[in-house]
Every structure is written in C-alpha cells, then in structure tokens.
Amino acid sequence: MVSLQRTIRNMRRVGLKEWWRQLQYIGDAKAGTYVGKDQFGNRYFENRNPEEEVPGRHRWVDFAQHDYNATQVPPEWHSWIHHIRKDAPTNDPVMQSSSPPWKATYIENLTGTRGAYKSYNTVVPKINAWEPKVKTRV
C-alpha cells in the first residue's frame, strides 16, 4: 500500500507533469536515479533507498510508448532489471566490450500487430474444390 506521504514526496521530486504521467502509466509515483535509455526510447531508473522502495522493486522501466509490451525491453536491460547483472548496460564494461559490430539490433515481438510475420503455403493442396465442367451444346 502506497502512503500519501510517499506519493506527495515523490510528486515534489519528479514534478507535477511526470508524477501525473507515472500515475497514469504505472499506477504509482516513483522517484529514482536515471540509469540509461535504450534504442526504443525506454528510460530506466533505480532507487536504492530501502525506506522508499520495496526490495526487488527498486529498478523499473518507463516505457516510451503508450501501448507498451514486455518484449520492448532489450535482453541486456532485462537482465539488469531482473538482477541477473549487477551493473546497468551503460556502466558494465563486459556489456560494452561484448557487443560485436555484426550483431543485428533487437526487434520487439510483433505478434498480433500488422508487422507480424505471416508465412505462406507453397505445397499443392491435397483436396481441391469441385469445379463443374460444362459441355457446349450442339
């Protein structure tokens, strides 16, 4: 349960506009340290103060799009949010050196959208619809 005092304190920290946006998108008012931004425009935050945030919920993402989806979080940021990696990808020397130049950019899952992959069938069907043959009259 979020206390009124915490909500007002975070409203003063982040500003009225950002506070209202957070209430609309994530349903909670949070204030933290900006950690980085990914290729989709998502912003990542962290608040290490144990009195303000529940342990395990001190890292969060602010999605750039209104119709957000969990697949819009790239793997390197996903591992940071879920505490698989200690350092954020912007500060982690391993992540900075492990990204090869040939690696393609991450694409979100487009299932259920117009951009979804739709395969087509190249096999001749086993059952064909009946087509009547008409003979000419004499």
100 occurs within a structural domain: yes
Please, which residues have CB within 8 angstroms of residue 36's CB and are 6 or more apart in sequence? 43, 44, 77, 88, 89, 90
CA distance 69 to 112: 12
Give the pLDDT score at 100: 64
Give the pLDDT score at 81: 92
- For residue 11, the enclosing domain spans 1-31
pLDDT tens across the length of the chain (138 residues)? 467 888 888 888 888 888 888 888 877 788 888 999 988 889 999 988 877 777 777 888 888 888 788 888 988 899 999 988 888 888 888 777 776 665 677 778 888 888 888 888 888 888 888 888 888 887
99 occurs within a structural domain: yes
Q: Are residues 3 and 26 in the same domain?
A: yes
Give the pLDDT score at 2: 63
Q: Are residues 24 and 36 in the same domain?
A: no
Q: Are residues 107 and 68 in the same domain?
A: yes
Predicted structure pTM score: 0.70
Give the pLDDT score at 119: 86
CB neighbour burial string for 34-65, b if at least 16 within 10 angstroms, e if fewer:
ebbebebebebbbbeeeeebeeeebbbbbbee
Q: Are residues 1 and 37 in the same domain?
A: no
Cβ neighbours, 10 Å, residue 78: 14
Q: Quote the number of domains for the chain.
A: 2
From residue 97, give the alpha-carbon distance in Å to each of 9, 79, 101. 39, 17, 10
Give the pLDDT score at 44: 93
Give the pLDDT score at 101: 60
Instruction: Show the CA angle centred on residue 31, arms to residues 25 and 32, nearest 5°.
Output: 115
What's the N-to-C CA distance of the chain in angstroms? 89
CA distance 61 to 46: 9
56 occurs within a structural domain: yes
